[in-house]
A and B are shown apart, each in its own frame.
Chain A
Amino acid sequence: MTVKIVRRVAILVASVLVASIVVFLFMAVLPGDPAQVALGVNATPELVAKTRAEFGIDRPLVTQYFDWMGGVLQGDFGRSYVTREEIGPALTDRLGVTLWLVGAGMLVALLIAIPAGTFAAVRHRKADGTALSGLSQIGVAIPAFLAGIILVQIFAVQLRWLPSGGWTPPVQDPGEFLRGLVLPALSLGLVQGAVLTRYVRSAVLDTLGQDYLRTARSKGLRPFQALFRHGLRNAAVPVVTVLGLQLSTLLIGAVVVERVFVLPGLGSMLLDSVASRDLLSVQGIVLVLVVGVLLVNFVVDVLYTVLDPRLRGS
């Protein structure tokens, strides 16, 4: 167990390092001078040169990289070229919004997928079960931004029940916060829910075919009863794997949904920073995202061992 975790941590650290180098090099070869972008169309070459020196981007790439990584290791992500504020605090601020969004989206997805998937599996030979899995097929094909646009049209523009976008922090006004989170979470969650429904369905179907469930049925339990008492924990193992993988796609979906709903999350910060060639910010954001995805995989790995005692030995 300990060896396994140490190995996983080593992989995590190595992946972060490689990712940081790749991101750094990518930004370095992107056309467009951050100083020129920051100064605008009327800047003189002298001013651009001065600003490049101020940003430190006139130094050799290797120096810049080690300078940046050295700072990051001490928790200092540097100061943005464009906003002139500390990147670290901005990152945590934005990450908070994205985590709420992803968390709420995941919750919606699970609330849809677990009952729907289970139902579709148990009744897979009946018309209603087949219809439900057909419906999930359609859901899979809808991109999150389209779901968002449709939801906004119905619930914000036509009915005016919910805001079409914007962000209120939970501490400021919990009611407004929830109202604002409903539509973005739904547009992320509906599509993810459809995807997960299919996995839940096949995992449950798989479990239903197992001998121990047949034994449970033969003892007189109804299909749902048998499943709840004996099967769901086993069906959870493959679903948790998929959940971990889906979290990364959820993050990507969040970037788009943040734009549709004007949420000040990490995704919109990333798009803005790339457009304004705010290299340090981009590097910081991507690093946080990479670490996030790797951490999720790590957690999934650990969850495995908790859910399935057979895996504890290795």
Chain B
Amino acid sequence: MKARIHAAVWALLLVASGCSAGSSATVAKDPGTLAIGYTAEPANFDFTRTDGAAIPQALLYNVYEGLVKLDANAKIVPLLAESWTISEDRKTYDFKLRKNAKFSNGAPFTAEDVKFSLMRVKTDWTVSIKSTMDVVDRVDVVAPDHARVVLTKPSNGWLFSLTSRLGAMFSPTGVADLANKPVGTGPYTVSSRRRGDSIVLKENPAYWGRKPAYSTVVLKYIKDPTALNNALLSNGIDVISAITVPDSIPQFQSDDRFTVVEGTTNSEVTLAFNNARPPLNDVRVRKALSYAIDRKALLDTAWAGRGTLIGSMVPPTDPWYEDLSNAYPFDPAKAKALLAEAGQPHPTLRLRIPNLPYAVSAAQVVSSQLADVGVTVTIEPLDFPAVWLKQVFTDRDYDLSIIQHVEARDIVTFGRPKYYWGYDGKPVQQNLAKADSGTPQEQIDAMRQVARRLSEDAAADWLFLFPNVIVAKSKVTGFVRNQVSESFDLTGLAPR
């Protein structure tokens, strides 16, 4: 008797589980549906209170829109603002807004919403990047289609950050449950989600702009790279948003069912030096390490030769990019000489890395190349993110580390002496400030100075820039080749 009761409970659980599990995420065979595979899943839909790249990747430009956006060439172009002007003192921005834009809950988009959204960053957001909005003094509603933003000091960084999630426009009537119910003005709305599996975006019928070519987009979340590749090979998805194992690329290139789109990212794989602690507080030691590493060989080993050697914290899509990759050509003899000069011929260094594939394979190359010049490197893989964040990033308990720095224009972190680089250089800080407040040309000149100075100081060793590799079925076109914004922009995708 008891056994029967338990069997019944078991059966009930099975049935109940089937019923409670959300709705619709099948990849339909109809041509209006596109399924895209991603590796990192959004924890929730609220990027105002939850950090990480996955939420804006899914929602920005697709569900939420800002006044401006970054186009494929990393240029700031109009979105909800038709145009804008900047005052002489570079502190007042006048945005002329689109008149026909609407939120997905029906509320019209007006200058009131601009004021609400921008001021809300200061009061309600908790993610750390919100500090870029501190320069906003006030927002004036001049007319329903005219918003005026007044800054406390000129800031180019501010306008740029409007292209990120910080510039997303919210309606006061649509922020009640951001974690679960996003309300934006974009071409898509969130239709359903199954945690651990997928998010379904559906076309927003009231969208002000051009109708998207795909009426339904299924964002499939597949953490394991092999499973992700298999899903594309077996028709489970149509697109892999970013390849995370380079060895699998040739397999797709040789198969005419697929197209491989290669571009750049903002993601610098950096060998971080702890500038604040001996022996790496000595510039000669840092230079020695830079000379000792053959970055071309490292790129071949760690990422199958794909990626770009950059030599600085600047990707080619930034206006002030210059190729500094030859600043420290591979020269073991020079490395040994510099180490001897610094009185550190045989230092022992702790290379504390996140336990991620690219870091582990790069670390082995770094360690063996440094051994050739007499440096003993002990590799310590740390659980990422939790342990690495605590010990290397927060406590700065490391000599060397290897990590991707994925954020746009993150070269500004070298202006913060308390950042984990431990780099404290007045010229860099001054030039960063000058770049932020100057005209576009002044900005470019000052940023070049910053990159050059960091290279001269060997503040870190920029191993390579991560490539952006998208693989898709040949019939899908319109991808943004370079991953420069926070968004995986779905708006340009179309069947061939």
Q: Which of A's residues lie within 8 Å of B, judged by CB?
A: 5, 30-34, 36-44, 47, 50-51, 82-85, 89-90, 92-97, 99-100, 103, 149, 152-153, 156-157, 160, 162-173, 176, 259-265, 268-269, 272, 275-277, 295, 298-299, 302-303, 306
- Is A96's CB under 8 angstroms from B17's CB? yes
**A267: nearest chain-B partner, CB-CB:** B196
Chain A residues near B389 (CB-CB < 8 A)? 32-33, 36-37, 41
Give the residues in chain B near A152, CB-CB below 8 Å.
Answer: 227, 230, 234
Which chain A positions have C-beta within 8 A of B233?
A: 156-157, 164
CB neighbours (8 Å) of A92 from chain B are 16-17, 20
From known contacts A84-B50, A95-B13, A264-B196, infer whether A47 and B236 are also in contact, taking CB-CB under 8 Å: no
Instruction: Find out whether the CB atom of A164 lies under 8 angstroms from the CB atom of B14.
Output: no
Residues from chain A with Cβ under 8 Å of B44 in the complex: 82-85
A176 to B224, CA, bound (A): 22
Q: Are A42 and B128 in contact (CB under 8 A)?
A: yes
6 additional contacts (CB under 8 A) given A96-B13, A167-B25, A176-B26: A51-B126, A96-B14, A100-B17, A167-B197, A262-B231, A303-B3
Closest to B195 in A: A264
What does the 1/0 interface line of B1-24 toward A look like (CB < 8 Å)?
A: 011001000100110111111111
Contacts of B76 on A, CB cut-off 8 Å? none
Q: When the two chains form their complex, are residues B196 and A272 in contact, meaning their CB atoms are under 8 A apart?
A: yes
Q: Mark B186-227, 1 if CB is under 8 A from A, else 0.
A: 000000001111100000000000000000000011111011
Q: Are A97 and B21 in contact (CB under 8 A)?
A: yes
Q: Give the shortest distance, in Å, between A253 (CB) and chain B (any CB).
A: 16
Do residues B51 and A99 form an inter-chain contact, with CB atoms below 8 A?
no
Residues of chain B touching chain A, judged by Cβ–Cβ distance below 8 Å, are 2-3, 6, 10, 13-14, 16-27, 41, 43-44, 46, 49-52, 126-129, 179-180, 194-198, 220-224, 226-227, 230-231, 233-236, 383, 385-387, 389-391, 393-394, 407
Contact in complex: A90, B195 (CB < 8 Å): yes
**Chain B residues in 8 Å Cβ range of A156:** 230, 233-234, 236
Give A143 Cβ to nearest chain B Cβ, in Å.
15
7 contacts between A and B (CB under 8 A): A30-B386, A40-B52, A99-B14, A163-B234, A169-B18, A171-B21, A275-B383
Closest 7 pairs between A and B when the two form their complex, measured CB to CB: A96-B17, A32-B386, A264-B196, A40-B51, A42-B128, A156-B234, A164-B230
Contact A166 B18 (CB under 8 A): no
Instruction: Say whether A5 contacts B2, CB under 8 Å.
Output: yes
Q: How far is the CA of A152 from the CA of B17 in the complex (A)?
A: 26
Chain A neighbourhood of B27, CB < 8 A:
166
Compute the total of residue contacts between A and B using a CB distance below 8 Å: 193
Whether A96 and B18, one on each chain, are in contact in the complex, defined by CB atoms closer than 8 angstroms, is yes
Q: How far is the CA of A152 from the CA of B234 in the complex (A)?
A: 9
**Nearest chain A CB to B29's CB is how many angstroms away?**
11
Considering the chains assembled together, what is the distance between the CA atoms of A160 and B257 in angstroms? 14
Q: Do A165 and B386 touch (CB < 8 A)? A: no
Using Cβ atoms and an 8 Å threshold, which residues of chain B touch A103?
14
Instruction: Tell me the minimal C-beta distance from B218 to chain A in angstroms.
Output: 10
**Interface pair B2/A302, CB less than 8 Å apart:** yes
The answer to whether B50 touches A93 (Cβ under 8 A) is no
Chain B residue nearest to A157 in the complex (CB):
B233
Q: How far is the CA of A157 from the CA of B390 in the complex (A)?
A: 41
* B234, chain A: closest CB distance, angstroms: 4
Assembled-state Cα–Cα distance A87/B128 (Å): 26
Contacting pair A165 B227 (CB below 8 A) = yes
A259 touching B224 in the complex, CB below 8 Å, given contacts A43-B51, A264-B194: yes
Q: A37-B385, A84-B179, A99-B13 are in contact. Are A93 and B390 (CB under 8 A)?
A: no
> Which one, B23, B128, B227, contacts A172 given CB within 8 A?
B23
Complex Cα distance, B24 from A137, in Å, reads 42
Which A residue sits closest to B11, measured CB to CB? A103
Q: Which residues of B contact A33 (CB under 8 A)?
A: 386, 389-390, 394
Decide: B17 and A32 in contact? CB cutoff 8 A.
no
Q: How far is the CA of A169 from the CA of B20 in the complex (A)?
A: 9
A288–B196 Cα gap in the complex (Å)?
Answer: 18
Inter-chain contact A262/B195, CB cutoff 8 Å: no
CB distance A85 to B180 under 8 Å? yes
- A5 to B386, alpha carbons, bound, how many Å? 44
Instruction: Decide: A99 and B194 in contact? CB cutoff 8 A.
Output: no
When distances are taken between beta carbons in the complex, the residues of chain B under 8 Å from A90 are 195
Residues A169 and B230 in contact, CB atoms below 8 Å apart: no
A194 to B317, CA, bound (A): 56
Chain A residues lying within 8 Å of B3, measured Cβ to Cβ, are 299, 302-303, 306
Q: Does A261 contact B50, Cβ atoms closer than 8 Å?
A: no
How far, in whole Å, are A57 and B231 apart by their CA atoms in the complex?
40
Residue of A nearest to B231 (CB): A164
Q: How far is the CB of A95 from chain B (nearest CB, A)?
A: 6
A165 and B230 in contact, given A38-B50, A306-B3 (Cβ under 8 angstroms) = yes
Report how far A266 CA is from B53 CA in the complex, Å: 24
Nearest A residue to B43 via CB reads A82
A31-B390, A96-B17, A100-B17 given; A42·B129 CB < 8 A: yes
CB distance from B327 to the nearest CB of A (A): 26
Q: Are A259 and B26 in contact (CB under 8 A)?
A: no
Query: Which residue of B is nearest A162, CB measured?
Result: B234
Residues of B within 8 A of A272 (CB): 41, 196
Closest CB in chain B relative to A163 CB, distance in Å: 5
Q: How far is the CA of A178 from the CA of B230 in the complex (A)?
A: 19
With a CB–CB cut-off of 8 A, which chain A residues contact B16? Answer: 92, 96
Q: Which residue of B lies closest to A40 (CB)?
A: B51
Which residues from A are CB-within-8-Å of B231?
Answer: 163-166, 262
Whether A32 contacts B234 by the Cβ 8 Å rule is: no
Find B386's partner among A51, A83, A95, A275 (CB 8 Å cutoff): A275
Is B391 within 8 A of A31, CB to CB?
A: yes
What separation, in Å, do the CA atoms of A265 and B17 have in the docked complex? Answer: 11
> Shortest Cβ distance from A155 into chain B, in angstroms?
9
Which residues of the partner chain B approach A277 to less than 8 Å between Cβ atoms?
Answer: 386
B234 contacts A166, CB within 8 Å? Answer: no
Residues on B with C-beta less than 8 A from A265 are: 196
Q: Which residues in B have their C-beta under 8 angstroms from that of A302?
A: 2-3, 6
For B37, the closest partner residue in chain A by CB is A262
